[in-house]
Structure 1
Amino acid sequence: MRYMLVGIAIAALLAGASQAQFGDSALSPPVITAAQRNEEITIKMFRLTTWLQEEGYGGVLINQYRNFQWITGGADMQVVTASERGPVTLVITATGGRYFLCSNSEDLRMQNEELGALGYEGVAWPWYEGASDSETMARAVAGIAQGRPLASDFDTPLATNESEALRGLRLVLTQSEIEKYRWLGRQCAEACEKVCREIEPGMTEKQVQAMISSELMFRDIQPTVLLMASDERLFSYRHPIATDKPVEKYVQVNICAKKWGLVIAVTRYVHFGPLPGDLGRKLRGCAQVCGAYLGATREGNTAGDVIAAGQEAFAFVGWPDEWQMHHQGGAIAYEEREWTGYPGARMPIQANMAFAWNPTIQGAKVEDTVLLREDGVLENLTDTGNWPTIPVRVGDQVYNAPSILVR
C-alpha cells in the first residue's frame, strides 16, 4: 500500500515550519540567507535537469547523502553515520519535478524540517511494507517516471547508476557554497589548533581523538576521518588510527569533517620540547612540495599536471620516492576526496573548485583545504592566522604552510 502524503499546497503551508528551523537564514548557523540558499539550489537544479535532458533521462533517483545534501543546499537525512546511503530517496524529473520517497518513519520530519519549503512532494508508505529497493518503492517510482528511463546514484534495477556523472556536477562550487566552506574551514582548523594547545603528555591517542571529536561536534560539525597518532607510530604508518598509547613528544591531529555535506580536510602537529632537526627538514620539504602542488593548481591544468609538479619538488627537496608512499590528495567538496590525483590523471582543474593536497615525508605531512577562485587566487580555507607557518612562494602568492606547534 502506498499513499501520496503531501502535495504542493500542503508544502506551501508547511514552509513556515521549515523556515522556523532556519530562522531568517537558509541554514543554521546563519552563514547564508534563505535567498542565497534558494539561488544555490536553482543553479544546481539547472545543472542537473540540463544534464538529464542531454542524456535522455526522464529523472534521477538520489539516495547518497552527499548528493542529497548537494542538491538540497544542505538538508539532512542522515540516520546511520557509517552508511553512504540514507532512508530517503529523492526523485527529480528532467522537467524539474521534485519528490521524496520514504517510509512513514521519516516523512513528517522531512516535510516539516528539511524538504517541504523546497517544493518537494512526499510519497510514503508504512515502514513494515519494505525497504528502499522494495516493490513498494518500485511502484512509487513508476508512478512518477511514467515509463521514462531514470538515472540514479546507487545500484538499483529501477535506474542506471550515474554516480560519476553526478560527481562531476557537484565539483564547481556556487557562491553560497563558498561562503559555507569559508566558515567550515575556519571552524575545523580552529578546532584542531585548540586541541593541539590542550594536549598534554601522558594523554592517550584515543583521548586526543575524543577531544577533537567533541570539539567538532560541539560546533555542530561531524568528523568523518580521525587519524590521531604520536611519536614513533607517526614515522611507521601513513594512516595511523588512535590507540591506547600515551603521548610522549610528538602528536598528529588529522581530520576530515563535514557540515551541510561539505567536507574539510586539515592536519596539524604539536611537539613537546625542541624540534629534532630532521623532523623540521621533513616538514619544510612537505611545505615545498605542497607549494608546488598549489602552483600547478590552476585552471586549464589537469590532476596529472599537479602530480608531476609535486614529483619534481619531491626530488628537489631530497625525497624523490616519497610520493609513492601515500596518496597526494586532490579535489574535495562533498566527499573526503572527490578524486585523487595520480600520474597522468586527466581530471581538469577548474575555477571555484576546492582542493586538499597532502604530501607526506615519513613522519610529516602538510594538509590544508584551499579554494581556487575565479580570479586565479588560491584561498586557504583552513588558515586561521593563529598558527606557526612556513612561508612558501606560489607564483604571485605566499602559501603559509602549517608548521609544527612547539610547546
Structure 2
Amino acid sequence: MTTLTTPATLVGQSPADATTASSTERAVKRSRVLDILATAGRDSVLLTSQSAVSWYLDGSRVGISLAGDPIAAVLVTADGDHVVTFNNEAQRLAAEEIPAGLTIHQVPWHGSLTNVAGWFGPGVSPTAEAELAVELRLARRSLLPGELGRYERLCQDAAGILTDVLSVATPQTTERAIAADMAGRIVAAAADPLVLLVNGASRVDFRHPLPTDATLGRRAMAVICARRDGMIANVTRWVRFDAGSPAELDAEARIAAVEADILDATVPGATVAEVLEEIRTAYDRHGFGPNQWRLHHQGGPAGYAGRDPRATDAVTDTVVLNQPFTWNPSGPGVKIEDTVLLSADGIRPLTADPRWPSTLVNGILRPTTLQL
C-alpha cells in the first residue's frame, strides 16, 4: 500500500482567497461529522456514497461511470481525514480533484475500498456510512456560502441550456435531437447529464419520458438533471407551437397553483412529511383529485442527490434555511420542476433564466410555457 499527499495548489484551482474559503467550509463539514460521531459514540466513519464523498470533498469528481459507485472513499477520524482510491485513479485525483493537503491511500485496482484495516491499518473500526445516513444527510442539507455559489451557477446554466435548446426547436425536431443537444451543452458546461427526458405531443402522458425518435409535434416537455461540483440541478420546461387548448391552459394554471401551495408550505421547522401532506391536499383543492400524488413522486430536498431524499411520509427531516428543494407537482399533461432555495427572504428560484417567459405566482417569478 502506498500513499500520496495532494499538492498545495491543484490544477485549475481558484485564487488563494477562494482556497481559504473552501478550507474553512471543509472545516465546518468536518466539525459536523465529528459531532455526529460523538453523539453516536463512535470514533470514525467511512464515507462511501457519491453524495457524502463529494459533499465532504468540496464537489470532487469521484466517479468514472455515471451509473457506478465512487472510486474513492473517505475515512473521517478524530485525528484526521484519509482518502482511499484505486491505484489507477490516485495520480489523477491527487492532481485534479482532491482538496490540498489530504493524504491519499492507494489499493490495487482489484482491491477493496472498504477493507480499512488493509489500507489504513489496525486501530480503527469505522462506522459504515449507512448506519449514520440520516445524520449525514441532515449535516449537508443547509448549504454553506461557497456551495451555494457553485450550485446557483449550475442551476442557472441548466436553465439556460433548456432555453437555448427549446428556443430553436420546431414541431419536426425529434425527441432524441433535443436530448442530444442538451447533453452536448451540459458536458460543455463541465457538468454530467444524469437525466435527460423529452416527450413530444404523442407521448405527453408519460411522466418519465426517455427520448425516442418521435417528433415533438404541437407541444413538448424537456427535463435536465445535471451534476457539477457534486451537486445536482433539476429543471423541467415546456414548449408549444400553437396557442394551446383551453383544457391545457387551465391545467397549467391549476398545477401552478398546486406548486404555489407547496412553496408556501416549505418553511423552516416544517417536516418533509408535513409538506407532502400539503401536496396531497393541494392537488384536491385545485381540481386534480385526492390521488394525483400517487401517480408520480413529488420531489423533495435537493443538493448532493437528485432528491435528498424523495418526500415520503417516513421522512421526518425538518426544513432549514439555505436548503435547496426540487418539488415536482404533475398532472395529466402538465408538470412543474424547478430547483429553489429556502433563504431568509423566502423561496428563491435557482434554475432561472431571464430569457424564459415567466409570470408572478404568489409573488415569485415562475416559468410558463414557451410559445413559439
Fold match (TM-score > 0.5): yes
SS in 2 for 1:202: coil
Distance 1:330 1:116 in 2: 30
Equivalent of 2:260 in 273, 291, 296 = 291
1:268 aligns with 2:237: yes
1:310 aligns with 2:279: yes
Q: Map 1:2-401 to 2 at 5 A.
A: 2-3=1-2, 5-6=3-4, 11=6, 14-16=7-9, 18=10, 20-24=11-15, 33-83=18-68, 85-95=69-79, 97-115=80-98, 117=100, 119-127=101-109, 130-133=111-114, 138-143=117-122, 146=123, 148-153=124-129, 161-235=131-205, 237-320=206-289, 321-343=291-313, 345-373=315-343, 375-393=344-362, 398-401=363-366
Contact 2:54 2:60 in 1 (8 A): yes
Distance 2:285 2:89 in 1: 56
Q: Report deviation, 1:338.
A: 0.5
- Which ranges in structure 2 are unaligned for 5 or more consecutive residues? none
Distance 1:269 1:361 in 2: 14
Contact 1:195 1:211 in 2 (8 A): yes
Q: Report deviation, 1:245.
A: 1.0
1:404 aligns with 2:364: no
Amino acid at match of 2:369: I
Moved more, 41-50 or 108-117: 108-117
Contact 2:75 2:126 in 1 (8 A): no
Distance 2:224 2:234 in 1: 6
SS in 2 for 1:256: strand
Tell me the alpha carbon deviations over residues 298-331 of structure 1, each in whole angstroms, 9 at most, x when there is no partner.
Answer: 0121123222323332222211232221111110
Contact 2:202 2:217 in 1 (8 A): no
Distance 1:366 1:310 in 2: 13
More helix by share: 1
Contact 1:60 1:151 in 2 (8 A): yes
- Which ranges in structure 1 are unaligned for 5 or more consecutive residues? 27-32, 155-160
Moved more, 308-317 or 70-79: 308-317
Structure 1 residues 56 and 330: CA distance shift in structure 2, 3 A: same
Structure 1 residues 342 and 405: CA distance shift in structure 2, 3 A: same
Amino acid at match of 2:35: T
Amino acid at match of 1:176: G
> Once superposed, what is the RMSD of the aligned Cα atoms?
1.9
Amino acid at match of 1:91: L
Distance 2:49 2:280 in 1: 35
Structure 1 residues 139 and 233: CA distance shift in structure 2, 3 A: same
Tell me the alpha carbon deviations over residues 87-127 of structure 1, each in whole angstroms, 9 at most, x when there is no partner.
Answer: 222212133x121222321222222222261x211222443
Amino acid at match of 2:298: Q
Work out the number of aligned pairs and report it. 371
Amino acid at match of 1:253: A
SS in 1 for 2:195: strand
SS in 2 for 1:127: coil
Contact 1:90 1:98 in 2 (8 A): yes
Amino acid at match of 1:139: G
Q: In percent, how many aligned pairs have the same letter?
A: 26
Structure 1 residues 131 and 343: CA distance shift in structure 2, 3 A: closer
Q: Report deviation, 1:343.
A: 4.8
Distance 2:276 2:35 in 1: 33
Distance 1:126 1:221 in 2: 29
Aligned to 1:30: none
Amino acid at match of 1:293: I
TM-score, length-normalised on structure 2? 0.94
Moved more, 166-175 or 42-51: 166-175
SS in 2 for 1:67: helix
SS in 1 for 2:348: strand
Contact 2:255 2:330 in 1 (8 A): yes
Amino acid at match of 2:36: W
Q: Report deviation, 1:358.
A: 0.8
Distance 1:54 1:322 in 2: 40
Contact 2:200 2:221 in 1 (8 A): yes
